[in-house]
Structure 1
Amino acid sequence: MKTVPRRQFIRTAVIAGAGLAVSLPSVARSGAAGPKPALLGGPKAHPGEFPGWPVFDQTEEKALLDVLDSGTWGRLGGSVVAAFEKEYSKVFGVNHCLGVSSGTSALYTILGAMDLGPGDEVVIPVYTFIATYNVVVLNYALPIFADTDIESFQVDANKIEEAISPQTRAIMPVHIGGSPADLDTLLAIAGKRNIPLIEDACQAHLAEWKGKKVGSYGLAGAFSFQSSKNLNSAEGGAVTTNSEQFVQACYRFHNQGQGGQTAAFNPGEGTRASNLRLTEFQGGLLLAQMTRTEEQARRRNENASYLTELLNEIPGIMPAKLYEGTTRSAWHLYMFRYDKEYFAGLSREKFIEALNAEGVPCSSGYGPMNRQDYVTGLAKNKHYLRIYGEKVMNQWLERSQCPQNDKLTTEQGVWFYQTMLLGKRTDMEQIADAIRKIREYAKELSI
């Protein structure tokens, strides 16, 4: 006989007994018997602290002191960054890794090695950190936004093809929150159109698609080691690729056009490059931090799975969908959608305020990037007007409409952070308790 979980049994029995359809909004009742939300004077649902970040001990101290004592602090002439690159390649199942100064630098290096420039277009998600946009604009190319799959928070792979034009030089999906985008569909489009696929995997350390690490599918992948990331050296990044020729082009671009391990007085190859090198100190920190990443990833995954089970029981709370090919999310973010109709019309802003008051840190996440002045102002940028002309730039604004993303960013999206998933099972239960409490008293909170 199959055992039905207690929560599922109770929920099914209540719904069946009341004769209600699960899809109908359930209006929260005011004056419930349970404890009041913290905003109404009740106790916090999560009175403790979530784990701090970064996690470190004598392993990191020794790594830094070893570099200090070596007297070789930069990668040129050093060996620590090279050791990190070798270990990172091994863990991520790629032929090559190049350490660089940030995740933004990783993307910039990739596009630089491709010789991206004025007149070119790159298809990117609209739901992403601004760096994905910046690296395209720094090359005076046009970023072309693709709308969001609102259920997954990822780029809608079915909207990619309509964003492609004869000027498209790359498709650059982002594995937002550490969960893989729909790589099967994206790779099929890239292959059919013969356009390179660049994976922005800056948030996706150890995430997997069909058992294989992300960052290993396209021409190249980009990772970030910024201080909030699951692998952290304060700042830093990496390029991953299976192409020997491409990694050499990336190395030259990130090292002033020079391919050697020492500085040269004469120019290198190509016509433009930069200095985006990772330091030996950062390489040492990363090697030390990598001794923990697998265990931390396992714990995040266990807690995220349990939290999803709990939140799926709360009407109006919809955890981000994982695509069928996802065999592992990095859970850099835990993302879910909030439907105020199931919370007596309580606004998302008030819901977030109430949840933070319960000791559960959260935010609304990214805004509608395509509508923000920083981005729309590109249509009036004097350099872009000189390159593309006013007509093309106005058409670019028209092409940048993303209605699903507007709904997600202005009404529904809510984030938890990766460190929260390093907590205990009881922390996940208290998060769910906080949301239940807010829902029960939603009418009073909305006054």
Structure 2
Amino acid sequence: MKNKNTDASRRKFLKQTSVAGAGAMLSMGISPSLMAKGLDNTSRPAILGGPAAWDKARWIKWPIWIPETDEKRVLEVLRSGVWSRASVVSEFEKVWSDTLGVKRTLLVSNGTNALIVALNQLDIKAGDEVLVPPYTFISTVQAILMNGAMPIFVDIDPETYQIDPAKIEAKITPRTKAILPVHILGMPADMPRIMEIAKKHNLLVVEDACQAPLTEINNKKVGTIGHAGCFSFQNSKNIPIGEGGAVVSNDEAFIDRCFSFQNLGLPYGTAVGTFNAGSVRIGTKVRLTEYQAAIGLAQLKRLDAQTTTREQNAAYLKSKIENIPGIVPYKTYDSATRISFHLFSFRYKKEFFQGLSRNAFMQALRAEGVPCSGGYTPLNKQEFLKEAFASKNYKRMYHKDMLDYNKYMEQNQCPENDLLCTEAVWFTQNLLLGSKEDMDSIASAIAKIHANAGEVKKTLEK
């Protein structure tokens, strides 16, 4: 039989020591909630001489190449001497179409040219305006300019980093021809709302899915929802070939035109090396090679499993860091059913790190063995736009009032994007191919920098 007085004293002692322990942890900058998350924020940061959270040499290298399984097909192609576009490129196109559940794929030299070709063959040309987000790689906007059209920037949703559908209609004018949403970082834009707006205003939609292979909205692959979708197979992408891109669509006549345009304007189906077919339209030459397609077919075999690993690790990492004060991870739309995570991002709020700057925070994080970057700078403020407006072609295509750069800048301000560009921190997709131990190490690295932010700041920001 228990002694009630002894039991009561024991409970009192445990309560007092727990409170005292929590107080001691708080006084040392140690958060009990983070300890409960399994995060080690008691160690001294590596930038201050402590042990690194992780060995950067242990991260999975990218791209992945497995000679035993990957090289046979590539060597066969190289030894065949058939290197220009032929049957292997066609095979890649068929496999990619089947993977996405779309009728047709056209492979081209890179994602930038995929966008250029798609916009061109949707007849987006001089005088047209294309609505585009500012949080994207420069290729998205360069493709608009290369077709003589005018990019009009629509600010982002600050939580998802995607083009904000609530801000689209205010930017539509009689010259608006298309919306170019970008599924940036591998996360999806709000396509259901974007398609509703496009239908209402009779606009074309070209999806920049260059960073988002296998991302899904309502179980439908991005890139297959709009009138056309574009993908990239550049070396850092989730399907690395070195360079490469694709245009996909369910509109077969459109893909036939794209094929012709990227093959010197020769009729669709004209074989490489044919000289007497006669071109039927103005064109360029951005064909993919056979050996690139062979590399791509090897990479495609791993894509589904890698995408699942990235998504699982991203969710786990997010759960580990979202309670660290000053770390605000991405959010996704409810319609997102799968995310490819080309990049993992969060917003860094320095006021919760005793004013430690983002650059200093990233320096400390790299010292822990965790590679990271600050991502994009505001695209709508870069000098290439001014240079385009001053070019001979744009002066001939547009009235001078439309090329007033200062006025354009005033009308294309994107304050949410400006703020994101000062706060974002990125991890590349290969980090998400690691183990849960790797994710724990990333989270603990952030936690111990937070716990020692004041001292880190004194050391790095003297």
**CA–CA distance in 1 between the matches of 2:27 and 2:291?**
55
Measure the CA separation in 1 of the matches of 2:369 and 2:54.
5
**1:353 paired residue number:** 363
Which string of whole-angstrom CA distances, capped at 9 and with x for unpartnered residues, describes residues 176-220 of structure 1? 001110111111111111111100000001110011111110011
Alignment of 1:302 with 2:312, yes or no, is yes
Question: What do the CA deviations read for 1:1-50 (whole angstroms, capped 9, x no partner)?
Answer: xxxxxxxxxxxx99xx99xxxxxxx99949x9822111111111112521
| Counterpart position of 2:63 | 54
Partner residue, 1:239: 247
**Residues 145-164 of structure 1 correspond to what in structure 2 (within 5 A)?**
145-164=153-172
The 5-angstrom pairing of residues 26-65 of structure 1 reads 29=29, 34-48=42-56, 49-57=58-66, 58-65=68-75
1:288 correspondence with 2:298: yes
Q: Does structure 2 conserve the Cα–Cα contact (< 8 Å) formed by 1:28 and 1:439?
A: no
Find the aligned partners of 2:450 and 2:344 in 1 and give their Cα distance: 20
What CA deviation, in whole Å up to 9, does each residue of 1:261-317 have, x standing for no partner?
3223353222x2110111111111111111111111111111111001101121111
Deviates more, 1:217-226 or 1:114-123: 114-123
Amino acid at match of 1:308: K
Does the alignment pair 1:414 with 2:392?
no
> Where do 1:25-424 residues align within 5 Å?
29=29, 34-48=42-56, 49-57=58-66, 58-75=68-85, 78-258=86-266, 259-262=268-271, 263-265=274-276, 267-270=278-281, 272-394=282-404, 395-410=407-422, 412-424=423-435
User: How many angstroms apart in 1 are the aligned matches of 2:370 and 2:213?
Assistant: 24
Report the 3-state secondary structure (helix = DSSP H, G, I; strand = E; otherwise coil) of the residue aligned with 1:122.
strand
Q: Which runs of 5+ in 1 are unaligned?
A: 1-12, 19-25
Partner Cα distance (2:188, 2:28) in 1: 35
Q: Which amino acid aligns with 2:443?
A: A
2:59 touches 2:431 (CA, 8 Å); kept in 1?
A: yes
Structure 1 residues 133 and 445: alpha-carbon distance in aligned structure 2, compared to 1, 3 A threshold: same
Structure exhibiting the larger radius of gyration computed from Cα positions: 2
Q: Secondary structure at the match of 2:168?
A: helix
Q: 1-side partners of 2:398 and 2:204: how far apart?
A: 23
CA distance in structure 2 between the partners assigned to 1:355 and 1:436 by the alignment: 10
Superposed CA RMSD in Å reads 2.0
Q: Percent identity?
A: 46
Match of 1:3 in 2: none
SS of 1:290's equivalent in the other structure is helix
| Number of equivalenced pairs | 421
Deviation of residue 440 (structure 1)?
0.6
Preserved contact between residue 107 and residue 200 of structure 1 (Cα < 8 Å)? yes
Distance 2:215 2:136 in 1: 17
1:101 & 1:33 partners in 2: Cα distance? 47
**So what's the TM-score if we normalise by structure 2?**
0.88
Tell me, yes or no, if the aligned pair for 1:226 and 1:234 is still in contact at 8 Å: yes
Contact 1:99 1:277 in 2 (8 A): yes
Report the 3-state secondary structure (helix = DSSP H, G, I; strand = E; otherwise coil) of the residue aligned with 2:337: strand
CA distance in 2, matches of 1:282, 1:33: 46
Q: Which runs of 5+ in 2 are unaligned?
A: 1-17, 31-39
Aligned 8 A contact 1:29 1:443 in 2: no
Query: Are the counterparts in 2 of residues 208 and 329 from structure 1 also a CA contact under 8 Å?
Result: yes
Partners of 1:239 and 1:400 in 2: how far apart? 28
**CA distance in 1 between partners of 2:113 and 2:388 (Å):** 21
Query: Bigger CA drift: 95-104 or 255-264?
Result: 255-264
Equivalent pair of 1:122/1:144 in contact (CA under 8 Å): yes
Higher helix proportion (structure 1 or 2): 2
CA distance change for structure 1 residues 210 and 33 in 2, over 3 Å: closer, same or farther?
closer
What one-letter code is carried by the residue in structure 2 that aligns with 1:397? M
Contact 1:29 1:442 in 2 (8 A): no
Residue-by-residue CA offset, 1:129-173 (whole Å, 9 max, x unaligned): 000010111112111111111111111121111122111121100
> Residue 261 of structure 2 aligns to a residue in which SS?
helix
Contact conserved, 1:104 with 1:135, CA < 8 A, in 2?
A: yes
